[in-house]
Chain A
Amino acid sequence: MAELLLDVRNLKAHFATEDGIVKAVDGVSFQLERGKVLGIVGESGSGKSVTAMTVMGLTRDINSRFDGEVLYKGKDLLKVSDAEMQQYRGAEIGMIFQDPMTSLNPVYRIGEQIAEAIRTHEKVDKRVAKNRAVELLRQVGIPNPESRVDDFPHQFSGGMRQRAMIAMALSCNPAVLIADEPTTALDVTIQAQIIELIDRLKDDFNSAVILITHDLGVVADIADEIIVMYAGNVVERAEKRDLFYDPLMPYTWGLLGSIPRLDRPRPDRLHSIKGAPPSLITLPQGCAFRPRCPHAFDRCMEQPPLENHVDPPTHLDRCWLDVEYKRAHRGDTISGRTEAA
């Protein structure tokens, strides 16, 4: 077994707002080993980004309450001081954000921003840091890095900015790289380049990756394990093949069925999950997906646990329905030939 880098246990992140307590993350657990890619899939408001930001210590605030553990190499990051967290952030765990335009500072040169990240964590002089920046830009595939290192962000295209972000995230050789929707703002052709890059760099730098996305197609490519989140909870967690070929949670079926897929014949109608995700302040009683689930029954008024019901013990789901019933009924939803009532 590879080295266990990150062990998140029953993580909760609640935020006090004027309207009430937002339970953005409400009991999330996962493990991440060196060399692996964990995909976190969910819609907006499912808590996938807050989970990642909490791991990075970026949600610390007077109004936030955390519970559970975020063990990085055995050390609980929820308990370390802000100053100590700085040592981990960037150096041990790097992060790439969705929008490469707003996450780069427009008034500093690309090279200066990467060099600053290096000099924050390592005692090296400016020239060494800049040479490292050039080398990093070369590794992420920026043509002509010796001259581009002095460019400003606006001189880079969207795809190049995301490459520069990746270079910055990798500048201190972190063991864990968190990529939060790294390709959502990019065109498909550029998305393919970036995903391939992340996959290659993971091997080059011998690190582990958490890839957060709403696109099941992206994780089908490079993830090893996938967790599906809904309303702050993990609703299904499985090895990649198990999740795609034996999905057990009706929400996962809905996600699979909602995508207009190029690899299947065109359905007359797409499946659509009725309604909208619930408010995180007043969650529905029981299973959070119950109001939108066409298969809900009495027992769903009680919150189901995240448990293993099928053969590979790594496959967990949060649903009361009988496995055989689910296997018999999911086909219509996934292939998108019927409408939810």
Chain B
Amino acid sequence: MSEVSQNGGPLVEVREVKKYFPIRKGLMQREVARVHAVDGVSFAVQEGETLGLVGESGCGKSTLGRTIVRLYEPTSGQIIFQGQAIEGHGARQLRPLRREMQMVFQDPYASLNPRKRVGSIIGDPLKIHNLGNAKERKARVEELLETVGLSPEHFNRYPHEFSGGQRQRIGIARALALRPKLIVADEPVSALDVSIQSQMLNLLEDLQTEFRLTYIFIAHDLGVVRHVSDRIAVMYLGKIVEMSPAEELYVRPIMPYTEALLSAVPVPDPDLAAKRERIVLEGDVPSPINPPRGCRFHPRCRYATQVCSEVEPPLVEYGSGHLAACHHPLNVDAALASAVEGSATGS
């Protein structure tokens, strides 16, 4: 089955994936509402590519990441990994796939078992998958420790003996242990200090080249995402509202939400910061239990008109792989906008 992906198809593809969480109340635990965490997301990631997922907290980016590696079962939609649909797989069927896709978590304090030694934290995946004998596994763990910039002597230490940055390296070594193809990294640097953060970003970049890894990189920091990504998807309330090649998104944002997000990022340059127009979004992200009708961003959007509160804009392409879902696209000339709109309503 893996031949399919070697023939040039994407490594992983999601089609109209939805993940709802039920809210239950009362004695009978009746379902009273649903959190629309991920609400119809489609994209494909090529081998060796890094896709950045950005958005504010609660936009569903982490849920999407976890659904892709099948830590969650999607409510509906398809997840295709190396040409194989895996959305309905049970635990047993998933096990061989776990070798191919791994996850790096945000909090290096919570994601390592404090009662296990580094050697078994990194080595247990090998044991579970019956790879090698004890001696070979130890050699592999020591090799991994070196790969991520730690020393093989750390084998017998406990997580509490390490700093935050070192712990995150352990988390990365664990993810690498089974030589996966895909790594979903959920805010891997946001808990770290700036000087450590840049070490980690450089390390992730090196590992990608060395092992031909594919990353889905989830972060809220637009600077970090731009640095690591080939393509970026912006999420808002469970939907992708814009997706584009990395640089393009920063030069020419089409969706007003992206524009506002970019303008809110503080710039370490006082003169530029004073000159720059900052779009301060009013209020908070609305509840994903009851997302707004029409365009989900319209209550906070400064360009919103009547149509935005009634019709949900589709995600359409504006050329060179740049997609956006908006009734009032920015940085797009009128001719292109009407052409795109025509094709969208025609389809």
Q: Closest CB-CB distance, B147 to chain A, in whole Å? A: 17
B339 interface residue (CB < 8 Å to A): no
Using known A-B contacts A188-B222, A254-B195, determine if residue A263 contacts B269 with beta carbons closer than 8 Å: yes
Complex contact A220–B56 (CB within 8 A): no
Binds A, one of B175-183, B256-264, B329-337: B256-264
Q: Closest CB-CB distance, A279 to chain B, in whole Å? A: 10
A157 vs B288: C-alpha distance when bound (angstroms):
13
A220 vs B262: C-alpha distance when bound (angstroms):
16
A160 vs B247: C-alpha distance when bound (angstroms):
33
| CB closest chain-A residue, reference B196 | A276
CB interface residues, B 249-292, toward A, < 8 Å: 250, 260-273, 278, 280-281, 283-284
**Residues in chain A near residue B194, CB distance under 8 A:** 43, 214-215, 255, 258-259
Complex contact A188–B265 (CB within 8 A): yes
A270 vs B57: C-alpha distance when bound (angstroms):
26
A21 vs B195: C-alpha distance when bound (angstroms):
26
Complex contact B268–A187 (CB within 8 A): no
**Residues in chain A near residue B205, CB distance under 8 A:** 269
Q: Closest CB-CB distance, B219 to chain A, in whole Å? A: 10
- B interface secondary structure, majority: helix
Complex contact A220–B264 (CB within 8 A): no
Which one of B164, B195, B199, B201 has the highest number of Cβ atoms from chain A below 10 Å of its Cβ?
B195
1/0 contact string of A147-188 vs chain B (CB within 8 Å)? 000000000011110000000000000000000000000011
CB interface residues, A 251-301, toward B, < 8 Å: 254-263, 266, 269-274, 276-277
Q: Tell which of A157, A195, A266, A273 touches B284, judged by Cβ atoms closer than 8 Å.
A: A157
Q: Closest CB-CB distance, B274 to chain A, in whole Å? A: 8
A65 interface residue (CB < 8 Å to B): no
**Residues in chain A near residue B193, CB distance under 8 A:** 43-44, 214, 277
CB interface residues, B 48-69, toward A, < 8 Å: 56-57
Using known A-B contacts A221-B273, A276-B196, determine if residue A270 contacts B267 with beta carbons closer than 8 Å: no
| CB closest chain-A residue, reference B267 | A263
Complex contact B198–A272 (CB within 8 A): yes
**Residues in chain B near residue A274, CB distance under 8 A:** 199
A257 vs B197: C-alpha distance when bound (angstroms):
11
Complex contact A258–B223 (CB within 8 A): no
Counting chain B residues whose Cβ lies within 8 A of the other chain, the interface size class is 35 or more
CB interface residues, A 31-82, toward B, < 8 Å: 43-44
| CB closest chain-A residue, reference B260 | A189
Q: Tell which of A44, A254, A261, A339 touches B268, judged by Cβ atoms closer than 8 Å.
A: A261
A211 vs B194: C-alpha distance when bound (angstroms):
18
A328 vs B56: C-alpha distance when bound (angstroms):
40
Q: Tell which of B224, B268, B272 touches A216, judged by Cβ atoms closer than 8 Å.
A: B268
A254 vs B195: C-alpha distance when bound (angstroms):
7
Q: Closest CB-CB distance, A291 to chain B, in whole Å? A: 13
**Residues in chain B near residue A339, CB distance under 8 A:** 202
B165 interface residue (CB < 8 Å to A): yes
Q: Closest CB-CB distance, A338 to chain B, in whole Å? A: 12
Complex contact B199–A272 (CB within 8 A): yes
| CB closest chain-B residue, reference A264 | B269
Which one of B196, B202, B221 has the highest number of Cβ atoms from chain A below 10 Å of its Cβ?
B196
Complex contact B199–A187 (CB within 8 A): no
Complex contact A262–B222 (CB within 8 A): yes
A217 vs B194: C-alpha distance when bound (angstroms):
12
B163 interface residue (CB < 8 Å to A): yes
**Residues in chain A near residue B269, CB distance under 8 A:** 220, 244, 263
Complex contact A260–B250 (CB within 8 A): no
Complex contact B198–A271 (CB within 8 A): yes
Using known A-B contacts A214-B193, A262-B223, determine if residue A188 contacts B264 with beta carbons closer than 8 Å: yes
A306 interface residue (CB < 8 Å to B): no
A165 vs B246: C-alpha distance when bound (angstroms):
37
Complex contact B226–A266 (CB within 8 A): yes
Complex contact A217–B265 (CB within 8 A): yes
1/0 contact string of B307-331 vs chain A (CB within 8 Å)? 0000000000000000000000000
Complex contact A191–B264 (CB within 8 A): yes
A216 vs B267: C-alpha distance when bound (angstroms):
8
B160 interface residue (CB < 8 Å to A): no
Q: Closest CB-CB distance, B240 to chain A, in whole Å? A: 18
A190 interface residue (CB < 8 Å to B): yes
Using known A-B contacts A269-B202, A276-B163, determine if residue A188 contacts B270 with beta carbons closer than 8 Å: no
Q: Which 6 A-B pairs have the closest CB atoms?
A: A217-B266, A260-B227, A260-B223, A258-B198, A273-B195, A272-B198
- Chosen A-B contacts, 27 in total, with CB atoms closer than 8 Å, are A188-B220, A189-B260, A189-B261, A189-B264, A190-B56, A192-B263, A195-B266, A215-B266, A217-B267, A220-B268, A220-B270, A240-B270, A241-B271, A244-B268, A244-B269, A256-B268, A257-B198, A258-B198, A259-B223, A259-B268, A261-B267, A262-B222, A262-B226, A262-B262, A269-B202, A273-B195, A276-B196
Given contacts A244-B269, A260-B224, A261-B267, 5 further A-B contacts (CB under 8 A): A189-B260, A215-B266, A254-B195, A256-B268, A261-B223
